[in-house]
Structure 1
Amino acid sequence: MEMEKENISSLQLFYLFIGFEFGTTIILGVGEGARQDEWLVLLISTLCGLILMGIYILLAALYPNQTFVQMLQVSLGKFLGYPIIVIYIIYFIYIAGRVCRDFGELMVTTILVETPIVVIIGSFMVLMIYCLRGGIETFGRMGEAVFPLFMFSLGIIWILLLTVKSFNISNLTPILGNGLKPVLTEVFPSVTMFPFGETVTIMMFFPFLNKKKNAGKAGFAVILIGGILLTINSVLILSVLGPEIIQEAQFPLLSATRLVSIADFLERFDAIIILMMVAGVFFKVGIYTYSAALGLSQLIKVNTMKSILLGLGTIITPLSLLIGNNLVSFLEFGLGFFNNKVQPIMQLLIPLLLLCIGFIRKKFLTSKNN
């Protein structure tokens, strides 16, 4: 599989990363600590996400036709660059495992209660690796096919939430009732890093765009449209559940959807939520797994990723089960220490360092040529 010959359109990239951004975010929810101001947290975090995306787009312009892994090799050299690349590959694999675990936990607590979680995650990874082995073009086409289904399901859920008897828009008031501090505490690093900062993986995909000039448009559109859709979702869930119940709910969107009852006949729309979760996890796990495989293939300089993908598939399934003993400890670590301490380094500090090095190199080379 020759990587250089593969291309995806900016629209395919947009579909993949909107789904990636929603991924598990729409199911797990974010920013609950701000209570009724959760929607405001998402709006402000979207602006922070646009700044992060600006950094990634500038890096893509400074290092054209290079993935993030190749940027690290060129900027930091062999001795400093290689260890950081290995850390990023482990980071991509780890998050793929976390997302699989989120998916597995939702399935075993809702519709597949009797099925072992290892069977659910293992089956999903077999399908995922089968798709990714077809290459980035196949993955892009799958994104085109799955994205409309995802958005259609989301649209139906939103319409159904408007019919819930407990729906009350005044659950969003008083705005900033607890002051600005709880909002800003949730904005950074928490919600800015998850989900917006996770789009750092987009730098692994920019070189495969058939029209490189559209990289900026696609990147900013992912953050802006994704942020607006997540904000709308947050407003609807808050209006149905209220801030107190949201803080206690493991899966807020699922809890809100379970309150839907049309004429005491149409109820239990869990299947639509599960369908969305499968679609979201498909995008997120696919992008992280592909990024890890691509990074590893560029590090060890091989042209084919098929065997690497197969190896990653066998690693991610057991890893997802070993990450946490139970769901509570798993979520506490992921949404606490990992998101607040590790993610800012990987998503902000290192890309910012690369950007500074890139600007200095460009200035030095320009003055040298003159």
Structure 2
Amino acid sequence: MSHGGPVLPSATRREPRGYPACSAHDISSADAGKNRAEVDPEQEPGMEVVADLSSGSSATTLLCRREGRLFYRKFVFGEDKDRLFAQTEHLIHLAQAGVPVTPILEVLRDEAHCRYDMPYRDDAVDFFTYLHTHTPGQNRAKLVTILDSLAASIHADAVPASPEAIDSYIQHKIVARVEALLGAGVLAPILAAESLLVNGIRMPNLPSLAGLLEPARLRELLAHDKCARVHGDLTVENIICCEEEGTSSGFYLIDPNGGNLLDTPLLDHAKLLQSFHGGYEFLVRLGSFSVRTEGRFAEVDFPGFISPAYARLKADLDGYLRLHLSESELTAAYLHEVVHWLRLMPYKLRSDPARAPVFYAVLVRVLHTVARRVGW
């Protein structure tokens, strides 16, 4: 089996990588003095940094070369080190459950930092790149392979979620985040409007949908959720596709996310909905947009473009979910998509306040999908 890591779609895209994992280990506190040199390739003898592939998280991801071989190094200093170490454990658990994931070449952690290295494969691209360079039939087959693989492995052991888990998820992931969003000063003029026009389509604004977001109503919508091990961040950029020998599945996963409070398979489905239903990858590349408030109305206009490949795969994903989920489960999947947008909003408000109204508008549009499905 060949170990490597994927090709670089571009310097601004998230890093691709390798296949199942090894065990992690800590380094002792006695080694703390040399940690930064061990973690930072620019300070490590014989190491060359080829590209910085870091995205929006606190971790740094670099494509590195040592002794003529390429590999990826992901590292973080400070309080997020434990979260990064938990990601390595998550990868190991997914691999043990039969999910194709990147191999981990080495893990180092102490009280100051954590880092792990992953192999580079020159035949690998992320799913975003794959689906724009392959036929609709190949894209549909890849999507089905990915979802069937999860359904037959980690999602297969799903059990009904406990009322306590559902309540905790509702309070911390929905209610608290909605309250914070309603208090966002950047969005105050938009939030004051009764109705929101998104690309010319009128819908109730978030404050008008408050009844749908009452805990009792949310409990009804999530009542059929089941818990299982999940990836937790199943974006198209965390799905790596490869066609040469070494990955019999033709794909593997990177960058899982824990800490969801309610680990339901619908979270993984909802992350794909965020891409193909919400158009996330095109929103982050957005250029022009306009925001206007007038009396009881607020209007947000932006190019609603998604590529033809995305549009086709959106229909394929919808067909797959309708085949495998009940209507109540599909409604819950859209609600979990709302939660993914809610999770994104604090970062957008902080890092890109000018474009935050666009992401807010998409969040409301997805919530309106839930409202329509339940006859709100």
TM-score range, shorter chain: under 0.3
Q: Which has the higher contact order (CA 8 A, sep 6+)?
A: 1
Structure with the higher helix share, 1 or 2: 1
Give the alignment's TM-score, normalised by structure 1.
0.24
Q: TM-score, normalised by structure 2?
A: 0.24
